[in-house]
């Protein structure tokens, strides 16, 4: 999209969000007031961010640093202190799911185990532990350690099984490494094994894509998550594509790939569980960001609290230094006004492609009527259907929503993360 298109879509999304959430919501992240502390929470989820990678992929927008043995102990000490800080602030909450993401969490598995032990000690952990991992990290020993740490849902960042696409995204190993890793995970008794596969890569055809899905399913993945390549301007790929004018797939090509993915999944017994994810059999769903509330631990980790969003400093040293001095690592906060929490809930139900209609009043209170009018309009446009209890996106609905979420990621997330990367403690960021 060119800059005029970007400007117009920004104007449209700003108008829409103001109309939906109301003029009382300020779309600004600011340093927290000195007197602010997180409110008590009875039940929530927990996100642990592990920022280490051996190979930093040029397209990856997440907070990460190159693996360095010397950083592991300070990281662990700070993460343990942050668990304690959360427990002191929100109380001994029930933690109904844990998600360990990165970076590559398996690069610092001993740290993760210590942090999980501390979580068990300070909170009441009742849910499953899900963890991301990377093909070169998986061997029998890692699998045993993951099982010993009670990790029950795993996700492997396959991205592609094809040499040309792996090379294009800066992954310097042979496809057989990912194949061995996936089959080892699949035969090791995890409740769910997800494979991340990328699409909308330059030069990728629908056939390339479905061949990757088929290979992942054949090797035993019971969930497939297909991400279109986001090109955040600040990642190396973003710069590369701009500088060298590599042609990304246009809307038509993207639509054909999206349809090929849905058709392939439906024909092979995988049901849709989100705009990008498909699951086969009775395995629990592997998912990260769709929870109703969570506390975040680690540099760049976000938290979704009853009173708003909070975002930790992205800078690993600043994060360690804050926690070593007993100070909060939260750099930015966006308080919720009106029914913002409910609209956020609805946004993620759209991501699930299913909305339980009887929860609308509970989530949105007096805004539920406005939400229902929008849902009817979406249904009339052929983007969804409803049986009175559940509202479900149709295939075209899921496609347009995936584009919208792509736009959201590129616009809001990019604005916020760019500011958060520039300085450890940024001033206000309007999104
Ligand atoms: C935090 S990454 C973890 C990757 C893991 N460390 C690995 O090496 O495979 C989680 C997933 O986000 C997806 N992802 C990362 N950057 C992306 C981008 N620019 N566009 C689309 N998906 C992306 C990838 O599919 C990746 O597997």
DSSP letter at 248 equals P
Contact yes or no for 100/150 (Cβ under 8 A): no
Cβ atoms of 109 and 72 within 8 Å: the answer is no
- Counting ligand 1 atoms within 8 A of each CB, the residue from 178, 193, 198 with the most, and so the one to mutate, is 198
**Per-residue CA distances from 250 to 3, 204, 208, 240, 253 (Å):** 16, 12, 17, 18, 5
Alpha-carbon distance of 429 to 412, in angstroms, equals 10
What pLDDT sits at residue 243? 45
Distance 64 CA to ligand 1 centre (A): 12
- The residue whose C-alpha atom lies closest to atom 4 belonging to ligand 1 is 157
Burial class (CB in 10 A: 0-12, 13-18, 19+), 144: exposed
Structure tokens at 238: 């973003």
Alpha-carbon gap, residue 10 to 343, rounded angstroms: 18
pLDDT at 88: 97
Residue with tokens 């997330």: 413
Q: Is the pLDDT of residue 422 over 70?
A: yes
- Per the CB < 8 A criterion, the answer to whether 252 and 263 are in contact is no
**Residue 196: strand, helix, or coil:** strand
Residues enclosing ligand 1, CB less than 6 A? 59-62, 101-102, 104, 132, 134, 157, 159, 196, 198, 227, 229-230
240 confidence band (pLDDT: 50, 70, 90) = low
Nearest 5°: the CA angle 124, 344, 380 is 135
For residues 357-369, average pLDDT: 92
CA quadruple 58, 59, 63, 67: dihedral sign: negative
Ligand 1, atom 15: closest residue by C-alpha: 60
DSSP of 338-349, one letter per residue?
TTHHHHHHHHHH
Nearest CA to ligand 1 atom 27: 157
pLDDT digits (tens, 9 = 90+) for 26-76: 999 999 999 999 999 999 999 999 999 998 888 888 999 999 999 999 999
Q: pLDDT at position 245, please?
A: 53
Q: Quote the ligand 1 centre to 61 CA distance (angstroms).
A: 8
The mean pLDDT of the chain is: 91
CA of 157 to the centre of ligand 1 (A): 6
What's the gap in Å between 377 CA and the centre of ligand 1? Answer: 34
Helix (H) / strand (E) containing 368: helix 368-380
Please name the residues in contact with 386: beta carbons below 8 A apart, sequence gap of 6 or more. Answer: 357, 375, 379, 392
Residues 429/417, Cβ–Cβ less than 8 Å: no
Would you place residue 246 in the very low, low, confident or very high pLDDT band (cuts 50, 70, 90)? Answer: low
As a whole number of angstroms, the distance between CA 152 and CA 91 comes to 26
Closest ligand 1 atom to residue 53 Cα is 6
Rounded Cα distance, 61 and 420, in Å: 12
Tokens coding 145: 């350690």
| pLDDT tens profile 309-323 | 999 999 999 999 999
Query: What would the DSSP string read from start to end of 220-240?
Result: T-SEEEEEEPP--TTSHHHHH
Give distance in angstroms: CA of 103 to centre of ligand 1: 9
**Token pair for residue 210?**
């479905």
For the chain, the C-alpha Rg in angstroms (whole number) is 21
For every residue of 347-366, DSSP letters joined together read HHHHHHTEEEGGGHHHHHGG
Model confidence at 207: pLDDT above 50: yes
Q: How far is CA 71 from CA 74, 315, 320, in A?
A: 6, 13, 10
DSSP states along 203-224: T--HHHHHHHHHHHHHTT-SEE
Give per-residue pLDDT as tens, 215-228. 999 999 999 999 88
Closest by CA to 228, choosing from 55, 6, 420, 410, is: 410
Q: Please report the beta strands in 104-258, taking only residues with DSSP state E, as ranges in sequence order.
A: 124-133, 151-159, 192-199, 223-228
Tokens, residue 198? 């990328």
Question: Contact at 8 Å (CB) between 205 and 160?
Answer: no
Question: Is the C-alpha dihedral spanning 263, 264, 270, 275 positive or negative?
Answer: negative
Which protein residue has the closest C-alpha to ligand 1 atom 25? 196
């Amino acid at each position: 999209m060119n800059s005029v298109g970007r400007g117009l879509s920004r104007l449209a999304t700003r108008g829409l969000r103001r109309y939906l959430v109301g003029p009382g919501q300020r779309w600004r992240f600011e340093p927290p007031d000195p007197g602010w502390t997180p409110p008590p929470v009875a039940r929530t989820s927990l996100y642990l961010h592990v920022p280490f990678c051996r190979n930093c992929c040029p397209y990856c927008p997440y907070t990460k640093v190159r693996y360095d043995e010397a950083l592991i102990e300070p990281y662990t000490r700070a993460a343990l202190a942050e668990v304690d800080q959360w427990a002191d602030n929100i109380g001994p909450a029930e933690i109904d799911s844990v998600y360990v993401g990165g970076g590559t969490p398996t690069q610092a598995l001993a740290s993760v185990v210590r942090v999980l032990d501390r979580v068990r000690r300070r909170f009441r952990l009742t849910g499953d532990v899900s963890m991301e991992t990377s093909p070169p990290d998986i061997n029998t020993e890692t699998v045993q350690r993951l099982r010993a740490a009670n990790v029950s849902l795993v996700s492997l960042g396959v991205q592609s099984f094809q040499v040309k696409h792996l090379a294009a995204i800066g992954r310097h190993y042979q496809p057989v490494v990912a194949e061995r890793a996936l089959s080892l995970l699949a035969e090791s008794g995890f409740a769910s094994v997800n494979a991340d596969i990328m699409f909308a890569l330059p030069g990728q055809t629908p056939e390339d894509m479905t061949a990757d899905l088929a290979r992942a399913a054949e090797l035993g993945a019971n969930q497939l998550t297909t991400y279109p390549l986001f090109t955040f301007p600040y990642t190396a790929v973003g710069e590369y594509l701009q500088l060298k004018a590599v042609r990304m797939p246009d809307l038509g090509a993207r639509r054909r790939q999206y349809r090929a993915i849905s058709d392939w999944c439906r024909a092979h017994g995988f049901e849709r569980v989100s705009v990008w994810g498909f699951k086969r059999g009775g395995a629990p769903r592997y998912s990260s960001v769709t929870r109703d509330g969570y506390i975040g631990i680690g540099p760049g980790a976000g938290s979704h609290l009853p009173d708003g969003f909070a975002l930790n400093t992205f800078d690993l040293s600043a994060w360690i230094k804050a926690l070593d001095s007993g100070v909060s690592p939260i750099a930015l906060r966006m308080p919720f006004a009106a029914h913002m929490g409910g609209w956020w809930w609805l946004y993620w139900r759209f991501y699930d492609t299913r909305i339980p209609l009887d929860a609308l009043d509970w989530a949105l209170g007096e805004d539920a009527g406005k939400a229902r009018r929008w849902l009817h309009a979406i249904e009339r446009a052929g983007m969804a259907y409803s049986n009175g209890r559940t509202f479900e996106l149709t295939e075209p609905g899921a496609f347009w929503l995936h584009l919208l979420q792509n736009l959201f990621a590129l616009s809001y997330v990019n604005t916020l993360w760019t500011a958060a990367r520039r300085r450890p403690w940024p001033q206000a960021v309007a999104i």
